[in-house]
Structure 1
Amino acid sequence: MENIQQAIEKNKLLKRFLESMGDGVFVLDPTGKIVAWNPAMEAITGYSSREIKGKSCRILKFSKCFGKDCPSGMHDCKILQTGKVIPTECVISHRNGHLLEVSKNARVIRDDSGQIMGVIETVTDLTELKNTRLKIEQAARRLGELNRLGGIIAKSEVMQNVFSFIKASAACETSIFIQGESGTGKELVAGAIHSIGERKDKPMITVNCSALSESLLESELFGHVKGAFTGAVRDRIGRFEQADQGTIFLDEIGEISPYIQIKLLRVLQEKEIERVGDSKKHKVNIRIITATNKDLKSRVDEGFFREDLYYRLKVFPIYLPPLRNRREDIPLLVDHFIKLNNKISGQTVTGMAEPARKVFMKYSWPGNIRELANAIEHAFVLCSDNQIDLKDLPLEISGQNTTYAAPLPRYPKPASPRKKQRESLDRDSLLTILTESGWNKAEAARRSGFSRAAIWKYMKKWNIPMQSE
């Protein structure tokens, strides 16, 4: 009877097939001796075909075939009785002595008469797969810790999809593009990606691209050398170099000028920067995350944004839904911001009354999570009970034209720079400031030198409506 080694040697097509396989394949004769060993097995185990042939498969020290260590010989191996080994994850020994995690699969080979000629086994190296699994598990664990700390709060299905994208993007190094309306938490997402990725121990640098002019933004991003422009009295490294080995988050990326777009494209392509006024190139190893609240594709179509840069940045897009599309997350967010404001103010607000809760659930939230957070802060200023009621909410949310007549609470004495302003502020002065500020309480606070909470309380004291009548 022809043995299995002779059968393989005679079949050239079979030999080519074994040699071309990406997975490791080897063949045993009925005594357990190796008679064929493909190149993939050489790569996985370190044993060459010449040195392994004729040896027992026990040389690989498979950790489990049938739920136990490799048997002492072929006569103890159940493969001859069962006819197969289902795909099993196990450990084998490399030629150099270290252990490898693999998936093993085996089948007996029979001739036309049904006699066993040998066994063919396939081996898949699981090292990369295990590493990837570990990274995903670690990323998921770190993301869970981040959520418990209040970084990202959501249970809605649409946000669970966002979480999946965050986990996936954290395990890779590609450019991330975050798109969403103002107040949806784009910077939080960028921070989450960085904090659960491999660069988590390196710096994360944030730059708001809409806050600076072209020349200032260029210097901020790329740095400058002494004498590059008036006022450049010394060399200064830019944000790209500060973020080296870490992450840079460029918020409002749609606002950068064509000149900065060209320079950013060079950073993405060449991984190097030039400081303003310098011809020397500096290598940087950074991960770039960008964000915008605009439709960047429309800006490309209108000629305001480079198409090549757009596709360079938009390798892995993450879309953040507005709060109105994830209303089931509102109670979680309300609870979070109530706890946060309790901690800051020392109050003991326990929750939100049903009328206020219904209003919160129906409101469209054009300012998204940022507006919700501000609404809770506003309510804390006015709330005199242990629950936030409808009367405590901003008028644009509650829809009520409530007139406030409660007495002004006592304030601690202000610091000396604001003392004069506080003493001179009266109802008419406050009305003038509010009119000049377009009834924007934050702007009125800045102009008067008082806190926004103080402005609200003075308005309440003097029966000033929360918006212009």
Structure 2
Amino acid sequence: MKDIEFEIQNNEFVKLLLESIGDGIFVLDTHGRIIAWNPAMEKIAGYSSDEIKGQSCKILNFNQCFDKKCPTDIRDCGILTYGKVEPTECLLSHKKGHVLSVTKNARVIKNRENKIIGIVEAVTDLTELKNARLKMEEATRRLGELNRLGGIIAKSQVMQNVFTFIKASAASDATILIQGESGTGKELVAGAIHSIGERRDKPLITINCSALSESLLESELFGHVKGAFTGASRDRVGRFEEADGGTIFLDEIGEITPYIQVKLLRVLQQKEIERVGESRKRKIDIRIITATNKDLKSQVDSGHFREDLYYRLKVFPIYLPPLRNRKEDIPLLVNHFIKTNNEKVILKVKGIGKPALKAFMDYSWPGNIRELANAIEHAFVLCTNRQIEINDLPLEIRDPNMIPGPVEKEKINPSIKNIQHPHSLTQKKLIDLLRDTDWNKAEVARRVGLSRASIWKYMKKWNIPLQP
């Protein structure tokens, strides 16, 4: 015992070693009395070296030594039997009375005759680590809340503002107008508002106003009675009635005709509807959420949309920014779409290469999140290396300056070959294109650079029959 204490007190190298080690170190003699105590232990336990020397290690009251509390007598401690204590997480009593979370391990010290002459113990304070872990868990929880709301995935500041508006709007029944380009997630926002509002246990009914003609949309929204028109063989409940107590989401609200605008205004003002073909008024209790990719104010100014309806709809407006204005969300969205696509395939994709991600970040995304989702799905078809590479991406993303291949001249009717831009499309040119392609709407869309849905809209607008 005197040998080890003498060595510690008189060996400058050992003293320097103890002082420089960041973890707490203390040494016991064979009677369990503390004979050395480094500065790190002073900081951890609160006892100075002078006041702790000669004390039993029992003063630290470790709650976990060989699966039991610290014994009062060193002879009862397992260290003399087993020769060591593997790193163990436990509690230590501080001088001021509070407990600390630490890890400790211990080894016996033997002389050349293999006789135990002491015990050295090392203690690591886990307080900061525990606090950091709690902060990380809290940050992860909050990040999950901030980055996802009702299926909307985002961390950018502009989208955090949207989340704030969504949460604020859920506290009332105010009519909401969601504005944003196609593919920005307007339907997801409507769903999020409904899912966190007081009507969440009631139905959410969605209608795309651009997909139906005026008469069909009227019947779909308001319902009809038997005999109201040819083919009305029975009474039918409309979507407004189906949504009673819940929410109705009217997408592409900018596409409705003046007649439907008047009927919708009455619904907003009086909270009642009439089925097509009857005069009975039916009270409804619904929340109305609308969305558009158009500038409704411009349509009001041009006389295409009722001003009184516009102001009724935009009691609480929410604007969804295009993806090009929230590019910090792209990596988050990419990971999400990789995960969702992995659920559909056997060979899993682990991630995306840096060049491919850079191409995503550099691209302008005219189709917004919908286009991004399609690009990931496209990449899954081509990907063979468990990681999406730049050659797996659609051509327009790999090289935004590259224009899709030219249309074969022999396929273009001379009467319509001067069409250079979708905005130059007229009723006559569209009819010529349809005739030239045998009424193939997909081919017409490809030639003029529009979606097939847009061609359908133009046909509906100009009363062009769907078939020749």
TM-score range, shorter chain: 0.5 to 0.7
Question: Residues 128-167 of structure 1: matches in 2 within 5 Å?
Answer: 151-167=151-167
SS at 1:438 equivalent: helix
- 1:324-346 Cα offsets, whole Å, 9 max, x none, are 00000000000000000011122
Kindly indicate whether residue 376 of structure 2 is the aligned counterpart of residue 379 of structure 1: no
Kindly indicate whether the alpha-carbon contact (under 8 Å) linking 2:176 and 2:289 is maintained by their aligned counterparts in 1.
yes
* Cα pair distance change 1:355/1:243, threshold 3 Å: same
Report the Cα offset of residue 348 of structure 1. Answer: 1.2
**1:210 partner SS:** helix
Match of 2:421 in 1: none
Is contact 1:179–1:318 with CA below 8 Å preserved after alignment? yes
C-alpha contact (below 8 Å) 2:383/2:389 kept by paired residues = yes
For residue 222 of structure 1, what is the amino acid of its counterpart? F
SS at match of 2:348: coil
Q: 1:255-310: CA deviations, max 9, x gaps?
A: 00000000000000000000000000000000000000000000000000000000
Which residue in 1 is equivalent to 2:174? Answer: 174
Q: Are the structure 2 counterparts of residues 229 and 219 from structure 1 closer, same or farther at C-alpha, using a change threshold of 3 Å?
A: same
Which residue identity is paired with 2:304?
A: F
1:243 aligns with 2:243: yes
From the superposition, tell whether residues 175 and 252 of structure 1 become closer, same or farther in structure 2 (CA, over 3 Å).
same
Distance 2:255 2:442 in 1: 30
The answer to whether the Cα contact below 8 Å between 2:150 and 2:188 also exists between their aligned partners in 1 is no
**Cα 1:142–1:210 shift into 2, 3 Å:** farther
CA distance in 2, matches of 1:215, 1:231: 13
TM superposition score normalised by structure 2: 0.56
CA distance in 2, matches of 1:435, 1:258: 32
Change in Cα spacing, 1:187 to 1:347, as seen in structure 2 (3 Å) is same
Residues 56-95 of structure 1: pairs in structure 2 closer than 5 A: none
**Amino acid of the residue matched to residue 233 of structure 2?**
V
Match of 1:31 in 2: none
Partner of 1:324: 324
Find out whether 1:364 has 2:372 as its counterpart: no
Residue 297 of structure 1 aligns to a residue whose secondary structure is: helix
Partner residue in 2 for 1:355: 355
Aligned to 2:264: 264
Q: Structure 1 pair 314/272, CA: closer, same or farther in 2 (3 Å)?
A: same
Structure 1 stretches of at least 4 aligned residues deviating more than 2 Å after TM superposition: 141-150, 432-443
Structure 1 distance, partners of 2:305, 2:443, is 38
Tell me if structure 2 keeps the 8 A contact 1:174–1:315.
yes
Which residue identity is paired with 1:164? T
Residue by residue over 1:342-398, the C-alpha shift from the partner in whole angstroms, topping out at 9 and shown as x without a partner, is 111223111111111110001000000000000000000000111111110000111
Does the 8 Å contact 2:146/2:154 carry over to 1? no
Query: Cα–Cα, structure 1 residues 324 and 372, in superposed 2: closer, same or farther, change >3 Å?
Result: same
Q: Kindly tell me: are residues 159 and 262 of structure 1, through their superposed partners in 2, closer, same or farther at Cα, counting changes over 3 Å?
A: same
CA distance in 1 between counterparts of 2:217 and 2:143 reads 32
- Please name the residue that 1:288 is paired with: 288
In the alignment, structure 1 residue 438 sits paired with structure 2 residue 456: no
- Identical aligned residues as a percent: 77
1:341–1:442 Cα change, 3 Å:
farther
Check 1:198–1:149 CA distance in 2 against 1; reply closer, same or farther (3 A cut): closer
Change (3 A) 1:150 1:384: farther
1:193 maps to what in 2? Answer: 193
Paired letter, 1:311: Y
Q: Work out the CA distance in 2 between the residues paired with 1:254 and 1:195.
A: 25
Other-structure match for 2:252: 252
Question: Residue in 2 aligned with 1:309?
Answer: 309
Q: Secondary structure at the match of 2:210?
A: coil
Flag the 1:150–1:391 CA change in 2: closer, same or farther, 3 A: farther
SS at match of 2:335: helix
Offset, 1:435: 6.1
Q: Counterpart amino acid of 1:315?
A: V
Any unmatched runs of 5+ in structure 1? 1-140, 402-431, 444-469
Q: Using a 3 Å threshold, how does the CA distance of structure 1 residues 218 and 325 change in structure 2: closer, same or farther? A: same
Distance 1:435 1:176, change over 3 A: closer
Q: Which residue of 2 aligns with 1:184?
A: 184
Greater radius of gyration (CA): 2
Asked whether the 8 Å contact 1:150–1:336 carries over to 2, the reply is no
Q: Is the 8 A contact 1:146 1:192 kept in 2?
A: no
Query: Matched residues in 1 for 2:442 and 2:269: separation?
Result: 50
Tell me what 2:101 maps to: none
CA distance in 2, matches of 1:249, 1:142: 29
Distance 1:142 1:226 in 2: 54
Partners in 2 of 1:142 and 1:234 — Cα distance? 52
C-alpha change, 1:433 and 1:175, in structure 2 (3 Å) is closer
Q: How many residues align?
A: 275
User: Using the alignment, how far apart are the partners of 2:393 and 2:231 within structure 1?
Assistant: 48
Partner of 1:233: 233
Paired residues for 1:112-123 under 5 Å: none
* Gaps in structure 2 of 5+ consecutive residues: 1-140, 403-439, 453-468
Q: Distance between the aligned counterparts of 1:186 and 1:317, measured in 2?
A: 12
Contact 2:150 2:192 in 1 (8 A): no
> Is contact 1:142–1:196 with CA below 8 Å preserved after alignment?
no
Partner SS for 1:356: helix
Match of residue 64 from structure 2: none
**Within 1, Cα distance between the matches of 2:142 and 2:239?**
26
CA contact (8 A) 1:143 1:192 kept: no
Q: 1:280 to 1:147 in 2, by over 3 A?
A: farther
Q: Distance in 2 between matches of 1:208 and 1:142?
A: 34
TM-score, structure 1 length as denominator?
0.55
Q: Say what the alpha-carbon RMSD is for the aligned residues.
A: 2.8
User: Aligned partners of 1:260 and 1:227: how far apart in 2?
Assistant: 21
Give the letter for the 2:269 counterpart. Answer: Q
Residue identity in the other structure for 1:171: A
- Cα distance in 1 between the residues matched to 2:211 and 2:246: 23
- Secondary structure of 2:356's counterpart equals helix
